[in-house]
Structure 1
Amino acid sequence: MKTQPVIAVLFPGDMGTQIAKALIDHNFKVITASEGRSAKTLENIQKSGITDTHYLQDTIEQADVVLSLTSPEGSFKMAERIISCLKATSNRPLYVDLNSNTPALASSIEDLFSAVDVPFVNGAVMGASKDIPDHAVLVVSGIYRHLFINLFAPVFKIKDAGEKTEAASAYKLLFSMVNKGMNALFFETMTAAAHFGILDELNESLQEFLPGTYQDLIKTTPTYPQHIVRRIDEMKGLAEMLESENLPNIIASGTAQTFERVLDSGIFENENPAGVVETLQNFKKLSNKK
């Protein structure tokens, strides 16, 4: 690699933009391809100091490292697009997928890049975009992870999940089961509390006797009205991973089912709660549906 490697960020949404800014602050050149991207992404490119190559092919030909930041649903298709670009160039950048994929999906993407002699690192971001770079943690795994760690340790907080490619995916999913399982527990509790007409009373008691738990829920619970579909997909992916390894998966499966019931109830529709209490107040709507 060159002394100052060129980093491609695909693509600068909220998370990608914050990662790009942190890299630029450490004197990395960051590039991306604007072709076909949304107006919001174009605005992010212009305001963050990212160099726009306009076309994906040009981006891949210039990059020393490619950071994929799309979504778990779009990560395989993104990898296929990159493979098509690589067939038209001799450049072989390090490819880092930070999309929090399932272990099976991460392995499938690795197979694509191994076939064209491109080093692959599997990864996930622990934390929100606003927490980059000081508080969020980038978890990485695979035999080439040290290329990523050595290059970016001065910029980000990084967790080395080991040599097994799927490890970063498992790490993210298992960690997320703790806070998502906690939210599912509270959602199921409040469903029953609303049924019996004691939601406010029970909520007050939970705050009084479990203040630490309530504090833990502050960051996560209010995000569910906007992101519950993604949470369902994550927990289903976790359940599938555990089942495939013949491991217990009752809580993961139940968490996904609880979130699905809440989604289907419609109580979070068009809601943007400011905190935990406000989020849980939505469960009162269930008692009105009897």
Structure 2
Amino acid sequence: MPIQTIGILSPGDMGQAIAAVLNQHGLKTIAALDNRSERTRQLAAAANIQDVGSLTQLVIESDLILSVLVPAAAIEAAKQVAEVISNVGKQILYVDCNAIAPQALLMIRTSVARESDR
């Protein structure tokens, strides 16, 4: 499956910078901006990240999800994405781009892999 649409968790300073580069190379970037701050919405708009509203819609529309958020939120975000993957029934690539400990990465890998195998 070719990667055309990339979901960004979360389009803050780093996420929007990554999305801007991806968009310059012809990829579509999307984010779930429901309940996000006006600042985050502005950063997303500046990087041409399309708002799909919910995390469920992000999973449905993405070929790949990049997690770019504060390290303390990485595990919880991965668990939320894993639950949505299970509910949607879709196999998807999930990339954690956060500065986290190797043990945390193993927890995320286990969580996302388990849900995507259902």
Which TM-score band applies after superposition, normalised by the shorter structure?
Answer: over 0.9
- How far apart in 2 are the matches of 1:108 and 1:87? 17
- How far apart in 2 are the matches of 1:46 and 1:107? 33
For the Cα contact (< 8 Å) 2:86–2:116, is it kept in 1?
no
CA offset digits 1:231-285 (Å, max 9, x no partner): xxxxxxxxxxxxxxxxxxxxxxxxxxxxxxxxxxxxxxxxxxxxxxxxxxxxxxx
Q: Which SS does the other structure have where 2:87 is aligned?
A: coil
Name the counterpart of 1:104: 103
Name the counterpart of 1:50: 49
Check if 1:76 corresponds to 2:82: no
Cα deviation for residue 116 of structure 1 reads 2.2
Check if 1:33 corresponds to 2:28: no
Write the mapping of 1:9-20 to structure 2, written as runs, cut at 5 A: 9-20=8-19
Structure number with the higher strand fraction is 2
CA offset digits 1:41-72 (Å, max 9, x no partner): 01111222111101111001111100001111
Cα deviation for residue 117 of structure 1 reads 3.6
For the Cα contact (< 8 Å) 2:81–2:112, is it kept in 1?
no
Q: Which SS does the other structure have where 1:95 is aligned?
A: strand
Call closer, same or farther: CA 1:54–1:117 in 2, change over 3 Å.
closer
Cα deviation for residue 114 of structure 1 reads 2.0
- How far apart in 2 are the matches of 1:52 and 1:116? 25
- CA RMSD, 1 decimal: 1.2
Higher relative contact order (CA 8 A, sep 6+): 2
- How far apart in 1 are the matches of 2:69 and 2:35? 14
Q: Which SS does the other structure have where 2:8 is aligned?
A: strand
CA offset digits 1:159-194 (Å, max 9, x no partner): xxxxxxxxxxxxxxxxxxxxxxxxxxxxxxxxxxxx
Name the counterpart of 2:94: 95
Gaps of 5+ in 1: 119-290
TM-score normalised to structure 1 length? 0.39
Q: Which SS does the other structure have where 1:70 is aligned?
A: coil
Name the counterpart of 2:62: 63
1:59 is aligned with what amino acid? L
For the Cα contact (< 8 Å) 2:20–2:47, is it kept in 1?
yes
Percent same amino acid among aligned pairs?
28
Check if 1:7 corresponds to 2:6: yes
Number of residues paired by the alignment?
117
Q: Bigger shift: 109-118 or 20-29?
A: 109-118
Write the mapping of 1:182-197 to structure 2, written as runs, cut at 5 A: none
- How far apart in 2 are the matches of 1:48 and 1:107? 31
Gaps of 5+ in 2: none
CA offset digits 1:12-54 (Å, max 9, x no partner): 1000000000000000010101011111101111222111101
Check if 1:22 corresponds to 2:41: no
1:34 is aligned with what amino acid? L
CA offset digits 1:185-214 (Å, max 9, x no partner): xxxxxxxxxxxxxxxxxxxxxxxxxxxxxx
